Amino acid sequence: MIGDLGARDATALAELVAAGEVTPTELLDAALAAVEARNPVINAVVLMQEDVARRAIASGLPQGPFRGVPFLLKDLGCEAVDFPSHNGSRLLADTRYDRDSAIYARIRATGVVTFGRTTSPEGGIGAATEAAVYGGPTRNPWNTDHTSGGSSGGAGAAVAAGIVAFAHGSDGGGSVRIPASSCGLFGFKPTRARLPDGPYVGEGWAGMAIDGFLTRSVRDTAVMLDACAGADPGAPYVAPALLRSHADAISRPPRRLRVMICDTTFTGAPIHPEVRAAVHQAGRMLESLGHHVEPGRPQADVPMMMRAWTDIVGVGTALGVRRALKGRAMADLVEGVSRGAVAHAEGLHPTRYLEAVGEIHAFGRQMAVVFENGPDIILSACLAEPPARVGRFSHETEDYLGYRIGPGGIFEYSPFCAVFNASGQPAASLPLGWSAEDLPIGVHLAARFGADEELIALCAELERAAPWAAIRAPMAGAARR
């Protein structure tokens, strides 16, 4: 039964529950069995709360769109009373919460059966998930020598391994889209403030971070976004209203769109040839669907944005670490990159944070002009190369700047995603490419600020043109592509 159920997306599983063909308890048992069988290899699922899940089923699940479907929360944010968190760090191990976050309350109302959390790197810094608090790296189900990505690396690995059909993630610099690209999944970052941050956070990383989901189908993401969208009370700002729901948007193709295809980085640097080939293949597919595709490169100050992003995240890391230390020794509880981020932040001029926020806002305006004067969609790679090997982005180094923006660092590996966290524009990674070693390659699409429904409609059109649901890691009980 595990293999059969693992071949379905969350929407299909919910339909089985609604039809009485399977019970929520049977689905939970299947997910727990998959954890037992597969998690020792990939190290993705942590902080299991089986009793909480069984009590939720016994007490009666909400009549939401995913009633009875097993679900996992990222172990970073998504605060929930019943789900303690390490937040990827020994410093914050076993943190408990006195109330549920708005995003978790909305997730729970969909009827999912949440039974644990998934691994994340300390502080959410990085494109790999190898936090010491979990006792080892999280590995890619397609090839365990490679990373599943970060910072929602555990979520991506759990879904790709067939443990759950979908999982919660979050994205402050690509942290949903990078694991989606690395694990052969769909990952969508909504427009800034589309989903709630409160009450524990006013805004994540100056508004650059937002929650999201790792899914195998566009429809699962669309329905979950509809269930969770909207500001929570007291939110500092809200996203533009959607013209129609995400679920309605994917029910029919979008208008024919102008697509800018970029087969380099946005600064003109070359990318891996297999990744470049995947971008061109996606461009040809869009042309075959009637969209107008032209080469180009967005004219915006990406290096300025990257340095501002790095400084803002460094300050945010320092704030979190200093607040949690409470007189304890940092070296015993905080990993190298985070210690480096603290040192970097404390060396900045006191006015630098606001200056960096201003630069991010200026960059957002530059990107808005790109869409106003040209394309409806920007097509690029998600990562500049196939998934990295485990250990390449270890947090042992204290060279925070080098880790982020130095030669061979995170921004060279992932030069596209953070652009749209800074601009606040919606963006998605689609599993449309594969390396010669059968590693997934994500293709990245982005749209103008607020145009979430048009972007997700395009994603659904591409999914229909090149279905990827049957292409799954061998660990998930399916043959390779």
Smallest CA-to-CA distance from 269 within 409, 151, 105, 130 is with 409
What three-state secondary structure class fits 425? coil
Beta strand residue intervals within 26-154, DSSP E: 45-46, 70-74, 113-118, 139-140, 143-147
Pairing of strands 70-74, 166-171: unpaired
In the DSSP assignment, the letter for residue 95 is B
Dihedrals phi, psi of 382, to nearest 5 degrees: -90, -45
Rounded distance between C-alpha atoms, residue 436 and residue 130, angstroms: 25
Helix ranges, 19-145 (H): 24-42, 50-59, 102-109
Q: 393 near 400, Cβ under 8 Å?
A: no
Structure tokens at 66: 């995913």
Cα separations (Å) of 397 from 146, 147, 173?
Answer: 19, 18, 20
Catalytic residues, which ones? 74, 151, 175
Cα separations (Å) of 256 from 205, 230, 360, 364, 381?
Answer: 35, 28, 31, 25, 21
Q: 289 near 386, Cβ under 8 Å?
A: no
Rounded distance between C-alpha atoms, residue 172 and residue 300, angstroms: 19
Q: 204 near 172, Cβ under 8 Å?
A: yes
What three-state secondary structure class fits 171? strand
Smallest CA-to-CA distance from 422 within 339, 318, 311 is with 311
% helix, strand, coil for the chain, step of 5: 40, 15, 45
Q: 67 near 17, Cβ under 8 Å?
A: yes
E strand or H helix at 211: strand 210-215
In the DSSP assignment, the letter for residue 399 is -
Rounded distance between C-alpha atoms, residue 76 and residue 91, angstroms: 13
Angle at 116 between CA 111 and CA 120, to 5 degrees: 120
Handedness of CA 108, 224, 66, 85 (dihedral sign): negative
Rounded distance between C-alpha atoms, residue 441 and residue 272, angstroms: 11
Rounded distance between C-alpha atoms, residue 173 and residue 191, angstroms: 13
Rounded distance between C-alpha atoms, residue 309 and residue 336, angstroms: 19
